[in-house]
Structures are given as C-alpha cells and as structure tokens.
Amino acid sequence: MDDYKFLFKVVLVGNAGVGKTCLVRRFTQGLFPPGQGATIGVDFMIKTVEVGNEKVKLQIWDTAGQERFRSITQSYYRSAHALILVYDISSQPTFDCLPDWLREIEEYASNKVLRILVGNKIDREDREIPADVGEEFAERHNMYYLETSAKESDNVEKLFMQIAEDLMKQARTRDLPRYDSNNQTLDGKTSTISDSSCCSRLQ
Amino acid sequence: MRRHMLVGGAARRLIGPFLGSPEGRPFPPNNNNNPFERSLRQLSGAGALPQLTKDRYPQVKRRDFAELNEKHLGYFKNLLGENRVITDKDECQGFNIDWLKSVRGYSQCILKPKTTQEVSEILKFCNDNRIAVCPQGGNTGLVGGSVPVFDEVVLWTGLMNDIISLDENSGVLVCQSGCILENLENFADERDLMIPLDLGAKGSCHIGGNISTNAGGLRLLRYGNLHGSVLGVEAVKADGEVIDCTSALKKDNTGYHLKHLFIGSEGTLGVVTKVAIQCPPKPRALNVAFLGLESFDDVLACLRQAKRQLGEILSSCELIDNPSLDAVTSHLNLKSPISVYPFYMLIETHGSSCDHDEEKMHGFLESCMSDGLVRDGTTTNEIGKMKAIWELRESITEGLLHDGYVFKYDISLPTREFYSLVPVMRERVKDAVRVCGYGHLGDGNIHLQVTLKEFNEEVLRIIEPFIYEYTAKLRGSVSAEHGVGFRKPKYIHYSKSPGAINLMKQLKVMMDPKGILNPYKVIP
Ligand SMILES: Cc1cc2nc3c(=O)[nH]c(=O)nc-3n(C[C@H](O)[C@H](O)[C@H](O)COP(=O)(O)OP(=O)(O)OC[C@H]3O[C@@H](n4cnc5c(N)ncnc54)[C@H](O)[C@@H]3O)c2cc1C
Ligand SMILES: Nc1nc2c(ncn2[C@@H]2O[C@H](COP(=O)(O)OP(=O)(O)OP(=O)(O)O)[C@@H](O)[C@H]2O)c(=O)[nH]1
Ligand SMILES: [Mg+2]
C-alpha cells in the first residue's frame, strides 16, 4: 500500500448537466472532455494530492444528476466527508433545485459533512444567477461557496485543494476518523466507516 | 437484466419449431444486434479460407471409413427429404469451417434431422455402413471439435429446436438439443426464470453443444456447472439406440448417473437430442461494476474483498487485462467507461433486493478504494450501461480475431498463479501481435491468447508444449472449459492420469465400437 496520511471521501451531487463530471475530469486528468455524456450510475476515482508535506488521498464519487440513472443513492452520502453541490450559473432551474438537494443531504449525510456550494460554468456569458445570490444562499445554509469553470480551469484545483486542507484540519482536531497507512489498525478503521455506511440500517 | 434488452419478444416465436435461415446456414437468422452475430457474418463474408485440416495436419490419417456414395445419399434423402440433406459445395462450406477459422474439413453431406427418431435412424445406418459422423450445434466451439477433420457427415441439430415444457414450479425446462441458448434465455426470462448458463456465444450456440462441451461461462461462479444444473439428457448412441436419461428430478439415485457421460464428451459417445435443465428464478436486482487496477496483487485482494463483502450475491467476477480490452476498443469501436489501467475487473451481483444489494456493492467499492486497490471505476444498475459493460467483456474473442490468427488457450490455474503465464508467454513469443489474458477470475480460469498476423508453425512450437508443461507443473488444467476437440487430444495427459485416459478409451470402445462418432477428437 502506498503511503498517505489521510483519505477523504468527496461526493459530487447536483442537477444533470451542471458540469460535475467535467469538474472531476478537469481536476483528475487536467482536461475538459469534449462531448461529455450524462453519468449513468456512479463513477469513482482516487486522486492523491499534497497538502503541506503530507499526502492526502481523495476518493471522488461523481454521481448521476438524472434521477433514472442514479443508483446507491443513499449509501454514498452516508460516509462522505465532503459534499460538493453543483449548479450551473447560466441555468436558473439548476439553482432552483438546490433546496431539494439540501433536503436529501440533510436526510442521508452525516451532520459533520463539509458542504460546498459550487456555481459552475462562469466562462459563459449568459449568466442567470448573480454571484452574490449564490453566495447568500450558501451562507444561509452554512456552506462554503465557490464559482468555477471546468472549461477554463478556473478555481477547480482550488476547490478540491481547499476541501483537502479543510478536512485535514478537521481530522487533526479529531473530528474525523483518521486513516494512517502505517498504522496496523487501518483495516479496523476502514471497516468502522463502511459499517456505519452500509449496515446500520440492517442491524 | 441484460438479456432483456438484447431481444424483445423473440421468445414468442419459439413455441413451435424455430427454423434456421432459408439458405440453411448453420447460424440462426439475425434477430438481435448481438456483436457476435455481426462477426459471424463478417467472417463468412471474408475471403481467406483456412487451410484444409488434412493438409495442415498431415500426420493425422483418415481412418478406414466408407466414402459416401449415391446409395448412402439416397438413404438419407429418403429419410429426411431432399431439403434436409445438403450436398451443395458452397452450402457445405459453413459447416466445414470452425468459428476461429483454424480448421477446415471437406464434408459433402450435411444432415438436418428434426427428431430423435431421425437421429437414431441416421446413426444406425452410419454405424452399419461405417460412415463417420460429426455432430454439430452452433459451431462456436473453440477447439476444432465441431467440424469434420476429413469428409465426415455433419449431423446438424439446428432444426431440433422445440421447447417441450417448462414447469414453473420446479423451474425445469425440457427442450430439444438444437435450441439456441439465447432463445432459451428469452423464453425463461418471460417466465421470471433464467438459464443458469451464459456465454458470449449465446446468440449462436445450441444447448446441446453447451452440454456436449460442458460449457462454463460467465456465471459458473454463482450457478455452478452443467453437471449440477442439467437434470436429464436424452442421447442416441452410435448404433442408433436411444438412451433416455431425461429424469426431471432434482434427486434420483437409481443406479449409475449416466447423463454425466454425455456432459462434456464432445459428441464422441453419443448425440444429445433432449435436455432437462434446472432454471433458477430470475434475480430482481442486478448491479455491475467495472474497475481499473494497477497490479495483479491488487486484483487478488479485490477478489478476496468481493467474496467476503458481496458473498451470496456475487454472480460474476471477470478479469480483463489491458491488451484484451484494447482488442475490443481498437477493433470493434466500443468505448471503455474508465481510463487506461493494466487490469480491469467486471463484477456483477444477482440478488433479490435492490437496496440491499446496492448498499453491499457500495460498501465493497468503498473499502476497495480505501485500501487503494481500485483506482478508477463505475457502477450502475441501469440496463443499457450494464449491457455496454458486458459487451466489452463478451466481445474480446471477436476483437482478437481482427488481429489475424489467434492461438487460444483456456487454462485453469491456482488463483495465485492465474496471470503468471501471460508475462512468461509475452517474453517467449516476441513476434506476437498481442499476448493477453482475460477470463473467469472467480473460477481460476484464464483465457490466454497469442495473436499473430497469420498462422505460423514455428510460433506454435514456441508455445506448445511449453504452455501445457507449465500448466501441469502448477497442477492446472490444460482445458478448463472449451474441451479437447481436435486441437488438444495429445495434451490431455498433462491433466489426466494414465488410468483415467485408459478408462475413457474403454468407454469409447464400448459405446461406439466402430468409432464413427466424432473421430480424431478428444481421445488421444
Ligand atoms: C464468442 C465465444 C465465447 C465463448 N465463451 C465461452 C465461455 O465463456 N465458456 C465456455 O465454456 N465456452 C465458451 N465458448 C466455447 C463453447 O464451447 C461454445 O460456444 C459452446 O458451448 C458450443 O456450443 P455449440 O452449439 O456451438 O457447439 P459446437 O461448436 O457445434 O460443438 C461443440 C462440440 O460439441 C459437439 N456437439 C454439438 N452438439 C452436439 C450434440 N447435440 N450431441 C453431441 N455432441 C454435440 C460437437 O461435435 C463438438 O465436439 C465460446 C465461444 C465463442 C465463439
Ligand atoms: N461552458 C461550460 N460548459 C461546461 C462546463 N462544465 C461542463 N460544461 C458542459 O456541460 C455539459 C454537462 O457536463 P457534465 O460534466 O456531463 O455534467 P454532469 O453534471 O456530470 O451531468 P450528469 O452526469 O448528467 O449529472 C457538457 O456539455 C459540458 O461540456 C463549464 O465549466 N463551462
Ligand atoms: Mg456526470
């Protein structure tokens, strides 16, 4: 196993077409995929980043916005350390749906989860949601706020790095389970997490 | 489930005989867009014929069987009618060449019986007149067993395609041996059941062929092999005697379990005419995950996790290495859902509750990611995407054919050694277009493939017998699921003891004393 100090699970949610997959691919592969199709099911990947001198692994889960393509909807919220809720600044309906997404988050996610609101596609000229409206919404719901462009690579790196740093700070203050690959109890800790994610309802 | 989508409503046509295509090709009419069907048509259209087997393997001598004459043909035509005795050279061609285009016989007579009685009369006549017979189903066999070596008469089962009964309480389906697997699948599916066997050739292969090769396939891990799920077999011996072992009972210990003799004997002991097969209930919940991994050690760890965490719902656990996937993405224009990795795993679950299964799948994926085993992946229960993922796996055989000539090996190895042969072989065969491995990881069965632009005798000698010796040293099997056929008789001693081979020979002599059934095959 490679050496890393922290492992965090980051989940992206939001309406179809807001650019979740493009944000992830920009961050993990450094590209803007032409003709990106709708996500079906859930895609997941690992990206290792460095914060300070420490290696942090981000486990990124990119979910489907379209209802009919969504699966394992509830379980992926449960063990998330950070949730990125994305809307498209050029599309009022994607913003109007945010309360629905929040309800789902409240219902399934841990209350300690780090929540970030992202207004994507700022490269577009046909903005419908002014930045301060997004920011005000985020503040009201106790979320971080960031505007990005997956296309122009604006703020994408910053978004994920910020999350990594923040989660690390939280982990240091023992608010989060800590993964340490040199530590014999890794397995035990990992399964603690998956226990709470998959079995609590059954037991 | 996946097979829903392939064919809509085709099964309705099946009640009653389902006739082959008018030209009498051994392949069924194309009623779906199975990639496999595509390749059959491409192949049969493509020019280059394989060399005649008698010329490529001059050491194999034609045994003392009768040459077919007008009197023989007259008997067959009288029995079956003109239309079910094919003697036209072009029409015979398709029945003389195997799917891999690796062997070619020159039979000038194809017989198309419809009933057990007709099979019985054909065999009795052939036995009395010393005419050699090659039983053929969908002709998808991969070891050259399904086509004549010389001029054996081909007994094609394609018109024996009646579904006789399905007991919805016990799940026992009884049918004739020429039913196409996919048609049976659709038929069972409409009744909320499934056939416990699935493989890439399903659009063409016959259940009789599956039984005769004891085909394994993609879900053996979960549903076991045909020795378990086939409850009964009716077969015709070389002398025409019909042996009825079609008990449809799950338990029946009255004497020797003779049906097993016909499961996996590749047409050398009798012609299978009827089958009773146990169909499990169709799963309510299906999930598929496609994963990218960095090393074979990670693959092994992931397999252990899958067994532990998915346990009773795990239905398939397949490995694909990158060169195998590349054969599909570069030749067949299919797209991989994830980026490039040395190894991919396809994991499928069959269960009875969606929520329950999804949670398990999620828990499994999360721990694989946390342990750093899986780098990238996707999971879904959406039908179209599950189908697209399975298509990648099922099209590998077809994709590889586009490289040119394929040396295929189907080997069982201890799981730890599952992949060890591939790098060794890559080192040995420097001129290969591709050396790759994929297969049923959960069952320890790898398909190792070496592709060349064209057949090359020298390369063959670099690969064989080395590959068999290597396998024997690890106490593996030199033919895990494809059988022995024409290609492998001289290698079975690597996996069978002298005593066992001797008993096989004695059985053969007893059941087919004149040796007319599928000669030159299986028995060394
Ligand atoms: C794309 C592809 C994927 C495959 N995947 C798998 C897989 O996953 N697992 C696996 O096990 N195999 C696999 N196979 C090979 C497999 O052996 C065959 O596909 C299938 O089981 C053979 O059925 P068939 O009707 O085509 O038989 P054929 O090829 O026609 O015949 C196979 C053998 O059985 C004999 N035979 C056929 N019918 C009868 C009968 N009624 N009575 C007596 N003898 C008979 C023939 O003489 C021959 O020796 C695959 C093949 C292809 C082309
Ligand atoms: N102009 C612009 N277009 C973007 C940006 N990000 C994504 N897009 C486009 O928006 C469309 C949808 O992007 P995706 O990343 O597939 O959206 P998604 O949120 O993953 O959608 P689902 O998977 O259906 O939930 C694509 O056509 C992208 O090219 C961006 O930053 N700027
Ligand atoms: Mg997406």
Domain boundaries, chain B: 11-30+283-397, 51-156, 163-278, 403-482
From residue B91, give the alpha-carbon distance in Å to each of B13, B44, B94, B95: 26, 11, 7, 8
Cβ <8 Å between B366 and A41: no
CA distance B403 to B452: 7
Residue A84 · residue A13 · CB < 8 Å: yes
CA distance B195 to B388: 21
CATH architecture of B163-278: 2-Layer Sandwich (3.30)
Cβ <8 Å between A71 and B382: yes
CA atoms within 13 A on the CB side of A46: 24
pLDDT at position A9 over 90 = yes
Residue of B nearest to A7 (CA): B370
Beta strands B285-293; B343-351: pairing state: antiparallel
Chain centroid to Cα B96, Å, comes to: 18
Pocket of ligand 1 (CB under 6 A): B 36, 99, 134-142, 145-146, 157, 177, 199-201, 205-206, 208-210, 212-213, 215-218, 266-267, 271-272, 397, 481-482, 485, 518
Beta strands B314-321; B271-278: pairing state: unpaired
**Beta strand ranges found along A4-98 (DSSP E):** 6-14, 42-51, 54-63, 82-88
Listed residues: CB within 5 A of ion ligand 3: A 20-21, 39
Q: In this predicted structure, what is the pLDDT of residue A194? A: 30
pLDDT at position A45 over 70 = yes
User: Which residues make Cβ contacts (< 8 Å) with residue B455, sequence separation at least 6?
Assistant: B50, B51, B56, B102, B405
B356, B366, B385: residue with CB nearest A41: B385
CB of A19 sitting under 6 A from ligand 2: yes
Beta strands B172-176; B271-278: pairing state: antiparallel
From residue B174, give the alpha-carbon distance in Å to each of B14, B201, B205, B232, B276: 13, 21, 17, 9, 4
Residue A80 · residue A9 · CB < 8 Å: yes
Residue B485 · residue B234 · CB < 8 Å: no
pLDDT at position B87 over 90 = yes
Place of tokens 């056939």: B195
pLDDT at position B24 over 70 = no
Q: Tell me the average pLDDT across B14-36.
A: 34
C-beta atoms surrounding B376 within 10 Å: 23
Length of chain A: 203
CA distance A133 to A145: 11
C-beta atoms surrounding A157 within 10 Å: 14
Residue B200 · residue B37 · CB < 8 Å: no
Ligand 3 center from residue A118 Cα (angstroms): 15
CA distance B382 to B394: 18
Residue B200 · residue B36 · CB < 8 Å: yes
Q: What is the pLDDT of residues B141-161, one digit of tens each?
A: 999 999 999 999 999 999 999
Place of tokens 């277009």: B433
Phi, psi of B322 (to 5 degrees): -60, -45
What residues of B are in contact with residue A74 (Cβ under 8 Å)? 355, 359
Could you tell me the pLDDT band of residue B38, with boundaries at 50, 70 and 90? very low
Q: How far does chain A reach from its first CA to its final CA, in angstroms?
A: 32
CA distance B323 to B334: 14
Starting from the CA of residue B268, give the closest ligand.
1
CATH architecture of B51-156: 2-Layer Sandwich (3.30)
User: Which class does domain B403-482 fall in?
Assistant: alpha beta
Q: In this predicted structure, what is the pLDDT of residue A32? A: 96
DSSP state of A196: I
Residue A96 · residue A129 · CB < 8 Å: no
Ligand 3 center from residue B367 Cα (angstroms): 23
Ligand 2 center from residue A92 Cα (angstroms): 15
Coil, helix or strand at residue A10: strand
Atom of ligand 2 nearest to the CA of A154: 31
Q: Do domains B51-156 and B403-482 have the same CATH topology?
A: no
Hey, what CATH topology would domain B11-30+283-397 get? Alpha-Beta Plaits (3.30.70)
Its sign, for the CA torsion B328, B21, B85, B117, is positive
B338, B371, B375: residue with CB nearest A1: B371
Residue A164 · residue A51 · CB < 8 Å: yes
DSSP state of A100: H
Ligand 3 center from residue B337 Cα (angstroms): 12
Burial string for B306-330 (b: 16+ CB within 10 Å, else e) reads beebbeebbbbbbbbbbbbbbbbbe
Q: Does A41 touch chain B (CB under 8 A)?
A: yes
Q: Which of B133, B139, B142 to mutate to test the pocket of ligand 1 (most atoms within 8 A of CB)?
A: B142
CB of A26 sitting under 6 A from ligand 2: no
Instruction: Kindly calculate the radius of gyration of chain B based on its CA atoms and give it in whole angstroms.
Output: 22
- Structural tokens at position B453: 């632009």
- Structural tokens at position B438: 């994929």
Cβ <8 Å between B362 and A45: no
Nearest Cα to A154, choosing from A189, A119, A125?
Answer: A119
Nearest Cα to B326, choosing from B455, B434, B247, B442?
Answer: B434
Could you tell me the pLDDT band of residue B33, with boundaries at 50, 70 and 90? very low
Q: In this predicted structure, what is the pLDDT of residue B44? A: 40
CA distance B248 to B170: 9
Ligand 2 center from residue A19 Cα (angstroms): 3
Q: Is the peptide bond before B465 cis (omega within 30 degrees of 0)?
A: yes
Q: Tell me the average pLDDT across B241-256.
A: 88
CA distance B158 to B179: 7
Q: Tell me the average pLDDT across B229-235.
A: 96
How many CB contacts within 8 angstroms connect chain A with chain B? 88
Q: What is the pLDDT of residues B323-338, one digit of tens each?
A: 999 999 999 999 999 9
Q: In this predicted structure, what is the pLDDT of residue B196? A: 95
User: Which residues make Cβ contacts (< 8 Å) with residue B102, sequence separation at least 6?
Assistant: B50, B144, B405, B406, B455, B487
A1, A40, A45: residue with CB nearest B375: A45
Q: How far is A171 from chain B (nearest CA, A)?
A: 16
CA distance B483 to B141: 9
Residue of B nearest to A6 (CA): B370
Q: Tell me the average pLDDT across A179-199.
A: 33
Q: In this predicted structure, what is the pLDDT of residue A186? A: 30
Q: What is the pTM of this model?
A: 0.84
ipTM above 0.85 for this complex: no
pLDDT, averaged across chain B:
90
What residues of A are in contact with residue B287 (Cβ under 8 Å)? 71
